[in-house]
Amino acid sequence: MSDMAVSGSRLAGAKGSPDTSDAVRYADNRGEYRQMLPIKQWGLVGIELRKQFFRPRTYIVLAATAILPPLIAAALAVSGSTRPERVQAMLITPSSSGLSLWYIVLSSTEKFFIPLAVALFAGEAIAGEASWGSLRYLCAGTYSRTQILISKMTVAAILCIATIAILSASSLATGLAAFGTAPLPVTVAKTVSLASAVGQLGGTARVATIYSVPTAIWKLLLSTLYGGTLEITIFTFAVLASVIWDRPIVAIGAGIGLAVVSWNLQTDAIPGLDFFAKYTPTHGIGLWQWMFVSPALYAGMAGFIIKQIIYGGIFLAAAFWWFIRKDIYS
């Protein structure tokens, strides 16, 4: 055994750590040696997941997500479900197909409701523990800060994915029950925001394209996944805010604030800053609707997804860098 190995073994013994040869020991910013075993990581994820499912906030958010589509369906029925509704650049008649509700819900929740839910779960990842005063004790235990942040983010991501899945399932079930299982007709509106798309569509801009139920469900699933990539940026930015500030409300506000500011820049609500619109996270979020024309248009969608991955990677790296070096004991 080399001198370095002997030294490491003695140091581990001084700390009271078991001498396991298959464990990978490494030092955090305070020079403490920890064991990095996958089974410990998943055990920590399980503990955090159980803790979150005992919190009333989790059930409130998931329940609100489940009842939102029925509320929208009821509002459409009261206001007149046989009347075509302008949904971004498309005309959708709610009563024409049960799948129209999913389309409407997806369009109406991608700007605020889903980012709010994502910011809520991600913003409390670390700031929640800090506000309760338990973060310092958690970091002083047998888990490294990297393990703690990974487990917190994993559980928050699971809850975010569950929120989107519940919203989609509730929209599909409610729509089919309220408006039937007919094919989905989608009509491009007379005044379309994307002039390039109108040019490619030529003279068929007011002709409805009718999709069978399986085809419409497939396109709506792809649209949901595409819109969900925006939440990568919202999620990682809220996590970054959560490790910087110890108040969950601040981290949550930072996450939803990013979405709001991005939407304002995209809609030219702030004069003189429209140049930055194409670099905002939300720019291009509505491109999924052009999958519902014939032929389908996919221009710009790959760039939108790549932009979310870049922003998410930057915010995620910053979150780990900050949390590993953060002074939580003073």
Q: Is the pLDDT of residue 14 over 50?
A: no
Please enumerate in sequence order all residues whose Cβ is within 8 A of that of 167, keeping only pairs 6 or more positions apart, or say none.
Answer: 65, 66, 68, 69, 105, 109, 114
pTM reported for the whole predicted model: 0.81
Q: Is the pLDDT of residue 220 over 80?
A: yes
Question: What average pLDDT is seen over the chain?
Answer: 81
Q: Is the pLDDT of residue 28 over 60?
A: no
DSSP class per residue in 178-193: HH-S--EEEEE-SS-S
pLDDT of residue 277: 81
DSSP class per residue in 245-307: -S-HHHHHHHHHHHHHHHHHHHTT-STT-GGGGGGSTTTTGGGGGGGGSSS---TTHHHHHHH
Burial label, 84 (beta-carbon count in 10 A; 0-12, 13-18, 19+)? middle
pLDDT tens digits, residue range 282-326? 999 989 999 998 888 898 999 999 999 999 999 999 999 999 988
CA-to-CA dists, residue 2 to 6, 7, 9, 22, 229, angstroms:
6, 9, 11, 17, 49
Distance CA 286, CA 226 (A): 9
Long-range contacts of 17-26 (CB under 8 A, 24+ apart): 26/144
pLDDT of residue 190: 57
Q: Which is more confidently placed, 205 or 326?
A: 326
φ and ψ at residue 85, rounded to 5 degrees: -110, 135
Given a contact cutoff of 8 angstroms between Cβ atoms, the answer to whether 163 and 114 are in contact is: yes
Q: Which is more confidently placed, 127 or 330?
A: 127
pLDDT of residue 133: 76
pLDDT of residue 174: 96
Lowest-confidence region among 24-33, 45-54, 83-92, 198-207: 24-33
Q: Say how many C-beta atoms besides its own lie within 10 A of residue 310's C-beta.
A: 12
3-state secondary structure of 170: helix
Q: Is the pLDDT of residue 206 over 80?
A: no
Could you tell me where the beta strands, DSSP code E, fall in the chain? 25-27, 33-35, 85-87, 90-92, 184-188, 209-211
